[in-house]
Amino acid sequence: MNDRSISNEELLREDPPPRAPREPDSGDCCGNGCDPCIFDLYEEARQHYRVALAAWRERHPGVDPAKLEPR
């Protein structure tokens, strides 16, 4: 895909950048030692996000995903 030939809106629609997972608040944890804990799930989601973002950046070199986010 040639990013220079399409608009930001088209890029967002056709191949949007992945969204970072929301970090849980400390109060979201029940404190009962769950396995997995909500924070374990968050770390797993962050790892998936990092991999997906790296793949997206590889497909769209030079494009800053933060500048594409709809306001």
- Are 56 and 68 spatial neighbours (Cβ–Cβ below 8 Å)? no
Question: Pick from 24, 16, 69: which is nearest to 46 by CA?
Answer: 24
- The number of residues making up the chain comes to 71
Domain residue extents for the chain: 3-19+29-68
Q: How far apart are CA 53 and CA 69, in angstroms?
A: 14
What digits encode the pLDDT tens for the residues 20-60?
999 999 999 999 999 999 999 999 999 999 999 999 999 99
Question: Pick from 43, 71, 61, 42: which is nearest to 4 by CA?
Answer: 61
pTM attached to this predicted model: 0.78
